[in-house]
């Protein structure tokens, strides 16, 4: 009987480890270096919390410049795909965070996102996540974190 329980435990643990994916998140902040450092980390906190709670392995990078292609003269790939492959990720989430300017201050407004299978390069889904207020007094940081959570909730079915 003890062997049966150990066997069942191993089967369950093996099944659980198969469902975990390694995900690379690449964020392009369409603002300045300052907004990259003050806005993106809060949005990514919501993303990371949601993905970690779902059991995935996640790593990230961000930039204020658009994604460029690198490689050989006759074959180039987007830099975020190359980084995802180098890190062993099977999924890439590419995010572009946009801002509006109010009183000479950049305020995060929305983010476009795209979910890719890294090996095939196939686009699995895409969408837009906006900053919304829940009616309660939320800080900008909380709004960004909630936007990141909503974004990932929209794509969890595709993972």
Is the pLDDT confidence value at 59 over 90? yes
Closest listed residue to residue 131, CA positions, set 93, 100, 92: 100
151 confidence band (pLDDT: 50, 70, 90): very high
What phi, psi does 156 have (nearest 5°)?
-60, -30
Sheet holding 105-117, edge to edge: 57-63, 22-29, 91-102, 105-117, 123-130
Tell me the C-alpha distance between 123 and 3, whole Å.
Answer: 44
**pLDDT, position 7:** 52
**pLDDT, position 18:** 53
Is the pLDDT confidence value at 5 over 50? no
Is the pLDDT confidence value at 93 over 90? yes
Mean pLDDT for the stretch of residues 131-145: 82
Does the domain at 21-158 match CATH 3.40.50.10540? Answer given as no
% of the chain exceeding 70 in pLDDT: 87
Q: Is 66 left (phi over 0), alpha (psi -120 to 50) or beta?
A: beta
More confident site: 35 or 129: 129
Each domain of the chain, given as residue ranges in start order, spans 21-158
The whole-chain average pLDDT of the chain stands at 85
Is the pLDDT confidence value at 95 over 80? yes
pTM: 0.82
Is the pLDDT confidence value at 140 over 90? no
């Amino acid at each position: 009987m003890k062997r049966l329980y150990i066997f069942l435990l191993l089967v369950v643990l093996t099944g659980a480890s198969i469902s975990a994916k390694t995900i690379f998140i690449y964020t392009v902040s369409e603002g300045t270096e300052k907004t990259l450092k003050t806005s993106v980390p809060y949005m990514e906190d919501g993303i990371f919390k949601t993905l970690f709670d779902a059991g995935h392995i996640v790593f990230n990078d961000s930039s204020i410049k658009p994604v460029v292609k690198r490689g050989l003269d006759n074959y180039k790939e987007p830099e975020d795909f190359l980084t995802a492959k180098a890190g062993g990720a099977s999924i890439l989430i590419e995010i572009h965070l946009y801002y509006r300017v109010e009183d000479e201050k950049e305020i995060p407004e929305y983010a476009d996102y795209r979910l890719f299978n890294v090996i095939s390069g196939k686009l699995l889904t895409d969408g837009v996540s906006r900053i919304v207020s829940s009616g309660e007094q939320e800080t900008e940081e909380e709004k960004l974190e909630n936007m990141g959570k909503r974004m990932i909730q929209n794509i969890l079915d595709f993972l």
